[in-house]
Amino acid sequence: MEDATITIQHETFSLIDLTGMDADAQKEIMKSWFLENYEDPAERTPYESREGGYIYIWGGPYDALDELSLFSGYVDDEVIEELADELSADCPLWTSAPKDSDYDDEYINLILSDNEYFQSFMDTMNHIVSITDAKIDEKPKSHLLGILYVSVITAIETYLSDAFINTVVGNYNFTKQLTQTNPEFRLRKFNLSEIFSVYENIDDEIKKYLLSLMWHNLKKIQPLYKSTLGIEFPNDEVMSFLFKAIAKRHDIVHRNGKNTDGEIIETSEQELFELVDKASKFANHINEQIRLLNNENTDF
C-alpha cells in the first residue's frame, strides 16, 4: 500500500498509521483534515436569492463522502460513511476552506501572490462581494449593483496598470523589450548628442507613457503584455466575457446607466458575481505568469 500523507495544522500524517487506530481516532483525524480543507458555504460564499443557491466562487460544491474517499483503503468504508453522514447532516454541500497564510489572496483556487498590487485587487473583489449583502430597497440596490459592476472593471484596469509598470520599470530586459517592440517608442527620433540624456530619463518616459494608457482597452493592452513580457491573456471565453462587460461599463458610466436605445441597464447579483469570477480568473492567470517572470529574470 502506498504511503500517502495528509497535513493537519502544518503537521504531516501518514495514512498508513490510520490502519492501526480505533474507529474514533480515525474519525477524529479525518474530521480535522476535512474541516481544515472545506467549509460551509454560508461562511463566505455569495448567495443568489433569485437563483436560490450559492455561487461557488471558492470551489465546489463538494460532497463529504466523495472527498473522504481519500482515506479509502486505510479506513473501513463504514467508518468513512459514518463520518460523511455526520458532516452532511451539518452541511449537505461544502466549499473550499481558507488557509491561514493566504485567505486574502485565495479566490477560485488562486495561487498565493507576493505582489502588493495583486493583493489589492483581491481585496477589492472580496469587498465588492461583501457589499452585496447590504440590506437596502430594490431600486437603490439595483443602482448599487451597477456601481459595483463598474468597480470590478476599474479594479481590472488598476491591476493591469500596476502589474505591468511594477514589472517593467527598472528592469533592463523588460524596458529594452518595450522600447524595441512598442510603436510609440520605435518611432521616436533624437540626436546622438541626446542619447545619454534620453537613457537617463528612460524610466520617467516609460512611466509617463504607461500612465497615459487606457488600461481597460484590452485590445491594446493584450498585445502590450505579449510583446513586452511574453504574457498570454486567458482563453477566448474569459476575454469575450470581459469585452462585453467593459462595453456595459461604458454605458453605465457614460450614458447614465442606459444603452444606445435609451433603455435602462439592469445589473443583477448573478451578473456581478460572474464578473467577479471572470475578473479574478483573469488577474490570477496573468499573475501566475508574472511570478514566473520574476523568478526567471534578473535585472542588470
Asked, for residue 68, whether it belongs to a domain, the answer is yes
Asked, for residue 80, whether it belongs to a domain, the answer is yes
In 226-248, which positions are buried (b, 16+ CB within 10 angstroms) versus exposed (e)? eebbebebbeeebbebbeebbeb
Q: C-alpha dihedral over 277, 282, 285, 286, to 10 degrees?
A: -150
Distance (Å, whole) CA 283 – CA 290: 10
Domain end, chosen from 40, 64, 96, is at 96
**Are residue 80 and residue 208 in the same domain, yes or no?**
no
**Are residue 268 and residue 147 in the same domain, yes or no?**
yes
**Are residue 141 and residue 189 in the same domain, yes or no?**
yes
pTM: 0.56
**Are residue 90 and residue 198 in the same domain, yes or no?**
no
Asked, for residue 103, whether it belongs to a domain, the answer is no
**Are residue 80 and residue 172 in the same domain, yes or no?**
no
Asked, for residue 236, whether it belongs to a domain, the answer is yes
- pLDDT for position 62: 92
Asked, for residue 155, whether it belongs to a domain, the answer is yes
Q: How many degrees, rounded to 5, is the angle at CA 200 between CA 194 and CA 202?
A: 95
**Are residue 84 and residue 208 in the same domain, yes or no?**
no
- pLDDT for position 230: 94
Asked, for residue 105, whether it belongs to a domain, the answer is no
Tens digits of pLDDT across the chain (300 residues): 556 888 887 778 889 988 989 999 999 999 999 998 998 887 767 655 444 567 777 788 899 999 999 999 899 999 999 999 999 998 999 988 865 443 343 432 333 334 578 888 988 999 998 888 777 776 677 788 888 999 999 999 989 988 998 888 888 889 889 888 887 776 666 566 656 665 666 777 777 788 778 888 898 999 999 999 999 999 888 999 999 999 888 888 776 667 677 777 788 889 999 999 999 999 999 999 998 887 776 443
Strand segments (E) across the chain:
5-8, 11-14, 38-39, 47-48, 53-54, 95-96
**Are residue 22 and residue 126 in the same domain, yes or no?**
no
Domain end, chosen from 65, 96, 127, is at 96
**Amino acid identity at 248:** K
**Are residue 25 and residue 148 in the same domain, yes or no?**
no
What does the block give as the cell for 27?
474519525
**Are residue 61 and residue 208 in the same domain, yes or no?**
no
- pLDDT for position 272: 92
- Helix and strand counts by DSSP (H, E) for the chain: 12, 6
Domain end, chosen from 36, 64, 96, is at 96
**Are residue 226 and residue 285 in the same domain, yes or no?**
yes
Distance (Å, whole) CA 76 – CA 63: 18
**Are residue 65 and residue 180 in the same domain, yes or no?**
no
What does the block give as the cell for 130?
461583501
Distance (Å, whole) CA 56 – CA 106: 13
Domain count, the chain: 2
Asked, for residue 270, whether it belongs to a domain, the answer is yes
Distance (Å, whole) CA 167 – CA 130: 30
Q: What DSSP designation does 114 have?
A: -
Which residues span the domain enclosing 73? Answer: 5-96
Residues 41/93, Cβ–Cβ less than 8 Å? yes
Asked, for residue 40, whether it belongs to a domain, the answer is yes
**Are residue 74 and residue 160 in the same domain, yes or no?**
no
- pLDDT for position 215: 85
Contacts of 22 (CB under 8 A, 6+ apart): none
Distance (Å, whole) CA 75 – CA 55: 33
| Residue showing cell 474569459 | 238
